[in-house]
Amino acid sequence: MLCVAVVLTTASCKDDDETPIVPNYLATQTILVVQPHTPTLARALQQNRDDIKANIKTHGLGNTRLVVYQGQSNTSGTLTEYIYANGTVIEQTLKSYQDFPMLNKESMTTLLRDVQQLAHPYGGHYSLIVGCHGMGWVPYGTYYPNRRIAKFIGGETSTTNMETADLATAMADAGMHTDYILFDDCYMACAEVAYELKDVTDYLLASPAEIMAYGMPYSDLFHFLTTTPPDFDNIMTAFNSFYSRYDMPYGTYSVIDCRVIGRLAFLMKTINSRFTFDRAQEPLLQAYDGFSQNHASKHAFYDLGDYIEKLCTDADLRSQAHDLLQRLVPHKTHTAYYYSKFDGLDHFINTYSGITVSDPTTNTLFQPALQTTAWWQATH
Mean pLDDT in the chain?
89
User: Does 56 score more than 50 pLDDT?
Assistant: yes
**15 CA to centre of own chain:** 41
What pLDDT digit, counting tens, does each position of 349-360 carry? 999 999 999 999
pLDDT, average across residues 218-239: 97
Cα gap 339→236, rounded to integer Å: 18
pLDDT score recorded for residue 226: 97
- With cut-offs at 50, 70 and 90, classify the pLDDT of residue 41: confident
pLDDT score recorded for residue 298: 84
149/282: higher pLDDT: 282
- With cut-offs at 50, 70 and 90, classify the pLDDT of residue 153: low
pLDDT, average across residues 85-100: 95
- With cut-offs at 50, 70 and 90, classify the pLDDT of residue 365: confident
pLDDT score recorded for residue 118: 96
- Long-range (24+ apart) CB contacts under 8 A made by 194-197 are 194/256, 194/258, 194/261, 194/328, 194/355, 195/261, 195/262, 195/265, 195/373, 195/374, 195/375, 195/378, 196/137, 196/164, 196/165, 196/168, 196/373, 196/374, 196/375, 197/164, 197/167, 197/168, 197/258
Residues with Cβ < 8 Å from 17, sequence gap 6 or more?
A: none
User: Does 267 score more than 80 pLDDT?
Assistant: yes
User: Does 143 score more than 70 pLDDT?
Assistant: no
User: Does 17 score more than 60 pLDDT?
Assistant: no
- With cut-offs at 50, 70 and 90, classify the pLDDT of residue 147: very low
What pLDDT digit, counting tens, does each position of 130-141 carry? 988 888 998 876
Does an H or E element contain 148, and which?
A: strand 147-148
pLDDT, average across residues 283-307: 84
Q: How many Cβ atoms from other residues are within 10 Å of residue 316's Cβ? A: 8
